[in-house]
Amino acid sequence: MAANASSSEVECTCPVCCDIFKDPVLLLCGHSFCKSCLGDWWRKSTQQTCPVCKEIFPMGEPPRNLALRNLSDALRQERSQKADSASEELCSLHSEKLKLFCQDDQQLVCLICRDSQKHKKHNCVPVNEAAEAQRTQLKVQLMTLKSKLESFNRVKLNCEKMESHIELQAEQTEKTIKEEFQRLFWFLRAQEVFRIDAVRKEATLKTEAMKIRIVNLTAQISLVTHKIKTIENEMRAEDDSFMLNIKSIMERSQCNLPEPEPPSGALIDEAKHLGNLLFTVWLP
């Protein structure tokens, strides 16, 4: 599929195999998948969940999406016709079609190049075979990227829950402090104000720290998501165009981002604020 794929081609792409739908089926959540892709997904998982939104569907056989199947079949036929009629890249040295891929030099070559002194002892394979092998390798890389994306989303969700919990902790701790200080004499009011201020300051600091963490995770998620979409788009290109750019594609498929670590020590230290709070001072 061309790199500048139309919106119809994008809509007809299965989220699991990243190719045009084959016999698509429709789940109740509105997401569609190739029937075989969904079957493989359900066989590997313990529950019948949607591969995209993870919603559970206790159904035996999801209905076929006939409208999407017709559109996908038309797009697949159109892509095949374009591939047959498209002009192939020509060798800059011999003006011959680049029908082979040199695995030693990682570049497209023509039949004359293959027999030249430079490539004579090299391992040259047809472009379509090399493209298929590279796509298979990229699918593995994409699985790693998607797994890392899930990790980032999972940690981000945890951080968002902690952010809300921090605010709730601050409210509950403040309430407890006020209730306890109401039992004391007036000269303890200064201590009440001091402790409430400490809770609010800690809540502010830790909430801000968590917000920064969430912003960073959001940026990393956006980066990985963009990388996945870009690679998936490039994988749909014609074989010769795809293989011309395979070096840069493979380099960009690597993810050097470290695994996200769950936040530690992020919650308010309630014991610090409530410890030794319940005491009474008796004057003679």
Residue 96 sits in a domain whose CATH number is: 3.30.160.60
Residues 168, 212 within the same domain: yes
Is residue 276 very low, low, confident or very high in pLDDT (cuts 50, 70, 90)?
low
Tokens of 131: 């493209």
DSSP β-ladder status, 32-34 and 107-109: unpaired
Is residue 280, in this structure, part of any structural domain at all? no
- Confidence band of 3 (pLDDT split at 50, 70, 90): very low
Pair (96, 161) in one structural domain: no
DSSP string, 26-92: E-TTS-EEEHHHHHHHHHHSSS-B-TTT--B---SSPPB-HHHHHHHHHHHHHHHHHHHHSPPPB-T
Q: Is residue 129 part of a domain?
A: no
Mean residue pLDDT of the chain comes to 81
Does residue 23 sit within a domain?
A: yes
pLDDT at 87: 47
Calculate mean pLDDT across residues 4-31. 79
Q: At what angle do helices 127-181 and 189-235 cross, to 10 degrees?
A: 170
Please choose, from the candidates 209, 198, 210, the residue with its C-alpha nearest in 3D space to the C-alpha of residue 170. 198
Residue 1 has pLDDT above 80, yes or no: no
pLDDT at 162 over 90: yes
Contact 38, 63 (CB under 8 A): no
Closest by CA position to 37, among listed 58, 15, 57, 56: 15
State which residues form the domain around 44.
7-85
pLDDT digits 0-9 by tens, 110-150: 877 877 878 877 888 888 888 888 888 888 888 888 888 88
Q: What percent of the chain has pLDDT over 70?
A: 88
The verdict on 164 and 263 lying in the same domain is: yes
In the chain, where does DSSP find H-type helix?
7-11, 35-44, 66-85, 111-115, 127-181, 189-235, 239-244, 246-253, 270-274
What pLDDT does 6 receive? 55
| 37-96 pLDDT, tens digit each | 888 888 887 778 888 888 888 777 888 888 888 888 888 887 766 655 544 578 777 877
* Residue 268 confidence class, pLDDT cut points 50, 70, 90: confident
Higher pLDDT, 219 or 46: 219
Q: Give 153's contacts (C-beta < 8 A, 6+ positions apart).
A: 221
pLDDT the model gives residue 283: 39
Number of domains present in the structure of the chain: 3
Lowest mean pLDDT of 212-221, 222-231, 262-271, name the range.
262-271
Same-domain status, 105 and 23? no
Which whole number is the average pLDDT over 255-272? Answer: 79
* pLDDT of amino acid 281: 41
Q: Are residues 270 and 156 in the same domain?
A: yes
The tokens for 26 are: 């429709």
pLDDT for the residue 41:
84
User: Residues 49, 31: contact at Cβ < 8 Å?
Assistant: no
Residues 113 and 162 in one domain: no
End-to-end Cα distance, the chain: 90
pLDDT at 168 over 50: yes
Per-residue pLDDT at 189 exceeds 80? no
The per-residue pLDDT for range 227-261, each reduced to its tens digit, is 899 989 989 988 888 888 888 888 888 877 788 77
pLDDT band at residue 188 using 50, 70 and 90 as cut-offs: low
Q: What is the pLDDT of residue 147?
A: 85
pLDDT at 172: 93
Distance of CA 8 to the CA centre of its chain: 22
> What are the backbone angles phi and psi of residue 233, rounded to the nearest 5°?
-65, -45
- Tell me the Cα Rg of the chain: 30
